[in-house]
């Protein structure tokens, strides 16, 4: 029993081991993309000039002894290699402001745009959580970071996009709302049950 507790404690320490080294951590963001929610962490050593970017705990950029303390660090996030940038601006004296851009837009604008261009559902099937994302512009469907094989068909009142998650048949129905401002309504049906949309 004691060994199991020690092993669990060791796994917990190793999962967060990169945080122990982050003495200059200045910003943490969570970014929802089609392939998942990604955590971006930024270290900025204002005395050493160090800059380190972590994406999902993995070091993506490390720069030591940067004499220019302001600027921009660019990198990619997720399976789709989405472009991201951290802007470092001096506010006053030795105070700095850090802003994250995704595809050239502020994080706030990116999130507002995602609300218009995607639908997200969170569901539990056979004890496992799944995050299903529909990209409305391409009709691509993602589930837990994987782009799904889909089959689309036209039906009497709109379209249906069929796919399978863990041996469960799934269907995203697209029907007109009848109102110009609302546009098309997308509904996820799993095992003949409607899944409520998640807000990220």
Q: Does domain 114-195 have CATH number 3.40.50.300?
A: no
Domain 1-109 has CATH 3.30.1360.120: no
Whole-model pTM: value is 0.78
Q: How does pLDDT run along the chain (200 residues), one tens digit per residue?
A: 555 555 554 544 444 444 445 578 999 999 999 999 999 999 998 888 899 999 999 999 999 987 788 899 999 999 989 999 999 999 887 789 999 999 999 999 999 999 899 999 999 999 999 999 999 999 999 999 999 999 999 998 889 999 999 999 999 999 988 787 778 899 999 999 999 998 77
Q: Is residue 159 packed enough to be buried (19+ CB in 10 Å), middle (13-18) or exposed (0-12)?
A: middle
Structure tokens at 171: 């269907």
| Chain Cα centroid distance, residue 12 | 23
Angle at 63 between CA 58 and CA 65, to 5 degrees: 145
Instruction: Give alpha helix (H) positions in 82-198.
Output: 107-117
CB 96 within 8 A of CB 137: no
Residue 10 carries which DSSP code?
A: H
Q: What are phi and psi of 78, to 5 degrees?
A: 80, 180
What are the residue ranges spanned by the domains of the chain?
1-109, 114-195
Quote the pLDDT of residue 17: 46
- Alpha helices by DSSP H, the chain: 2-15, 17-21, 107-117
Residues in the chain, total: 200
In sequence order, the 6+-apart residues with CB closer than 8 A to the CB of 188 are 119, 121, 123, 132, 134, 170, 171, 172, 194, 195, 197
The confidence score (pLDDT) of residue 46 equals: 81
Do 1-109 and 114-195 share a fold? yes
């Amino acid at each position: 029993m004691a060994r199991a507790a020690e092993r669990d404690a060791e796994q917990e320490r190793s999962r967060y081991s990169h945080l122990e080294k982050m003495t200059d951590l200045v910003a943490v963001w969570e970014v929802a993309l089609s392939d998942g929610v990604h955590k971006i962490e930024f270290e900025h050593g204002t005395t050493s000039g160090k800059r380190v970017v972590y994406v999902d705990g993995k070091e993506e950029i490390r720069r030591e002894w940067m004499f220019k303390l302001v600027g921009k660090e660019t990198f990619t996030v997720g399976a789709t290699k989405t472009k991201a940038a951290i802007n470092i601006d001096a506010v006053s004296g030795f105070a700095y402001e850090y802003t994250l851009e995704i595809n050239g837009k502020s994080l706030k604008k990116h999130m507002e745009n995602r609300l218009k261009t995607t639908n997200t559902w969170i569901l539990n099937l056979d004890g496992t959580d799944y995050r299903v994302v529909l990209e409305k512009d391409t009709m691509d469907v993602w589930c837990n970071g994987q782009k799904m094989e889909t089959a689309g068909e036209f039906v009497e009142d709109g379209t249906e996009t069929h796919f399978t998650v863990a041996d469960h048949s799934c269907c995203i129905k697209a029907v007109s709302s009848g109102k110009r401002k609302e546009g098309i309504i997308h509904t996820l049906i799993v095992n003949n049950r409607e899944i409520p949309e998640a807000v990220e």
